[in-house]
Amino acid sequence: MVQHCHIEPVVSFAYMESGRVVVVSSTQIPHIVRRIVAQALGLPWGKVRIIKPYIGGGFGNKQDALYEPLNAFMTMQLGGRPVKLELSREEIFFATRVRHGEKIHLTSYIRPNGRLVARKYRSYSNQGAYGSHGHSIAAKGTNVFRQLYQDEKARQVDIFTVYTNTATAGAMRGYGVPQAVFAIESHIEDMARTLNLDPIEFRFMNLMPLGFTDPFSKNVNYFDSFRQCVEKGKAYIKWDEKRNRYQKQSGPVRRGVGMSLFWYNTAVWPISIEVSSCRMVLNQDGSVQIQLGETEIGQGADTVFAQMTSATLGIPFENVHVIGTQDTDITPFGTGAYGSRQSYVGGMAVQKTALMLKEKILRLASEHTRMLVSNLDLVDGVIVLTSYNNKALLSLGELATEVLYSPVHAEHLTAESTMQAKSNAYSFGCAFAEIEVDIPLAKVKLLDIINVHDCGRLLNPQLAQAQVHGGMSMAIGYGLTEQLRYDEHTGKLLNGNLLDYKLSTIMDHPHLETAFVENYEPTSAYGSKALGEPPTVPGAPAIRNALLHATGVGVNKIPLSPHLLFPAFKEAGLI
**pLDDT at residue 216, as a whole number:** 85
Same domain, 289 and 376: yes
Question: Mean pLDDT for the chain?
Answer: 95
80 C-beta neighbours (distance < 10 Å), count? 17
Q: How far apart are CA 80 and CA 298, in angstroms?
A: 31
Same domain, 291 and 415: yes
Task: Mean pLDDT check: name the lowest of 412-416, 428-432, 447-451, 505-509.
Answer: 505-509
In a domain, 378, yes or no: yes
Of the three residues 69, 90, 111, the one that is the final residue of a domain is 90
For residue 40, the enclosing domain spans 11-90
Prior bond to 535 cis, omega within 30?
no
Is residue 47's pLDDT more than 90? yes
Q: In the structure, what pLDDT confidence band is assigned to residue 422 with cuts at 50, 70 and 90?
A: confident
In a domain, 5, yes or no: no
Same domain, 500 and 572: yes
Task: Mean pLDDT check: name the lowest of 267-276, 347-356, 367-376.
Answer: 267-276
In a domain, 3, yes or no: no
Task: Mean pLDDT check: name the lowest of 71-85, 265-279, 421-435.
Answer: 265-279
Give the C-alpha distances (Å, rounded to integers) separating 294 from 9, 195, 270: 21, 48, 19
Is residue 571's pLDDT more than 70? yes
Instruction: Please indicate whether residue 217 or residue 393 has the higher confidence score (pLDDT).
Output: 393
Same domain, 441 and 485: yes
Q: Are strands 326-327 and 376-379 parallel, antiparallel or unpaired?
A: unpaired
Give the C-alpha distances (Å, rounded to integers) separating 503 from 41, 180, 310, 481, 493: 38, 22, 39, 7, 16
Question: Average pLDDT for residues 190-213, to the nearest whole number?
Answer: 96
Closest to 225 in 3D by CA, of 424, 430, 458: 430
Domain tally, the chain: 4
- Answering whether pTM is above 0.85, one says yes
In a domain, 455, yes or no: yes
Is residue 542's pLDDT more than 80? yes
**pLDDT at residue 268, as a whole number:** 67
407 C-beta neighbours (distance < 10 Å), count? 5
Same domain, 249 and 280: no
**Beta carbons of 376 and 383 less than 8 angstroms apart:** yes
Max Cα separation, the chain? Answer: 91
**pLDDT at residue 308, as a whole number:** 98
Please report, for the domain that includes residue 441, its CATH number: 3.30.365.10
Same domain, 575 and 429: yes
Q: Is 92 helix (H, G, I), strand (E, B) or coil?
A: helix
Question: Average pLDDT for residues 56-69, to the nearest whole number?
Answer: 94
120 C-beta neighbours (distance < 10 Å), count? 15
- Residue 94 φ/ψ, nearest 5 degrees: -110, -15
| Percentage of the residues of the chain whose pLDDT score is greater than 90 | 90
Please list the residues that pair with 77 across neighbouring strands: none
Closest to 320 in 3D by CA, of 347, 278, 280: 280
Closest to 261 in 3D by CA, of 195, 197, 206: 206
Same domain, 23 and 73: yes
What does the H/E/C string look like for 158-173?
A: EEEEEECCCCCECCCC
Q: How far apart are CA 341 and CA 28, in angstroms?
A: 12
Of the three residues 404, 420, 436, the one that is the final residue of a domain is 420
Q: How far apart are CA 337 and CA 357, in angstroms?
A: 25
In a domain, 103, yes or no: yes
Q: How far apart are CA 116 and CA 263, in angstroms?
A: 18
Same domain, 198 and 279: no
Q: In the structure, what pLDDT confidence band is assigned to residue 269 with cuts at 50, 70 and 90?
A: low
Same domain, 208 and 82: no
E runs forming strands in 439-566 = 443-454, 512-516
pLDDT tens across 285-301, in order? 999 999 999 989 888 99
Q: How far apart are CA 396 and CA 398, in angstroms?
A: 5
In a domain, 160, yes or no: yes
Q: How far apart are CA 213 and CA 422, in angstroms?
A: 15
Same domain, 86 and 106: no
In a domain, 217, yes or no: no
Question: Average pLDDT for residues 357-364, to the nearest whole number?
Answer: 97
Is residue 276's pLDDT more than 70? yes
Q: In the structure, what pLDDT confidence band is assigned to residue 339 with cuts at 50, 70 and 90?
A: confident
Q: In the structure, what pLDDT confidence band is assigned to residue 484 with cuts at 50, 70 and 90?
A: very high
Same domain, 81 and 18: yes
Instruction: Please indicate whether residue 267 or residue 534 has the higher confidence score (pLDDT).
Output: 534
Same domain, 252 and 385: no
DSSP sequence for 140-204: HHHHHHHHSB--SSEEEEEEEEEE-SSPPB---TTTTHHHHHHHHHHHHHHHHHHTT--HHHHHH
Of the three residues 378, 400, 420, the one that is the final residue of a domain is 420
Question: Average pLDDT for residues 549-571, to the nearest whole number?
Answer: 97
Is residue 175's pLDDT more than 70? yes
Is residue 270's pLDDT more than 70? no
Q: In the structure, what pLDDT confidence band is assigned to residue 266 with cuts at 50, 70 and 90?
A: confident
DSSP letter for 304, please. H
**pLDDT at residue 298, as a whole number:** 87
In a domain, 348, yes or no: yes
